[in-house]
């Protein structure tokens, strides 16, 4: 993976996102909080079952943080592979892109809606330049002169 992108990023582009390894302090903190919460649940409920159950629920809630995700983009669209399951989408289904640092949210809706958080793709890119590049692809594909392509 090349960490130094310039404005001329070439397709296809592939990378693996693993936030827990990219920010080890946050990873350790998340594990500590999960263990403390699970231990607290086990004591409070007086059952090891509830401790294990709470650990499982909290871990699954943060699974995208702990388990790596593989991304690849090309001129046709984007592919995401997580836990052996691939999800593929054409660029034309995305109407908007929001950038937040290294992350880009790809929305299938032209206006903001409550269901967007369930239908949109949250893509953790290798750096902010890659996020801007993906957002530019969405803007270019949705410009009035390219809608017929």
pLDDT at 145: 60
pLDDT at 117: 80
**Residues lower than pLDDT 50 in the chain:** 1-6, 148-149
Strand order in the sheet with 121-124: 96-100, 103-107, 121-124
pLDDT at 75: 86
pLDDT at 107: 92
**Chain centroid, CA 81 distance in Å:** 11
């Amino acid at each position: 993976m090349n960490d130094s992108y310039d404005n001329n990023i070439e397709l296809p582009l592939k990378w693996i996102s693993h936030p827990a390894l990219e920010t080890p302090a946050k990873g350790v903190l998340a594990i500590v909080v999960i263990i403390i919460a699970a231990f607290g649940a086990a004591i409070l409920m007086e059952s090891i079952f509830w401790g294990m159950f709470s650990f499982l629920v909290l871990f699954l809630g943060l699974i995208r943080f702990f388990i790596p995700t593989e991304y690849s983009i090309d001129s046709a669209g984007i592919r995401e592979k997580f836990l052996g399951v691939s999800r593929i989408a054409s660029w034309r289904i995305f109407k908007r892109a929001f950038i937040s640092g290294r992350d880009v949210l790809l929305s299938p809706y032209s206006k903001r809606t409550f269901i967007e958080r369930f239908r949109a793709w949250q893509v953790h890119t290798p750096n902010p330049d890659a996020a801007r590049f993906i957002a530019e692809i969405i803007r270019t594909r949705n410009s009035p002169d390219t809608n017929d392509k």
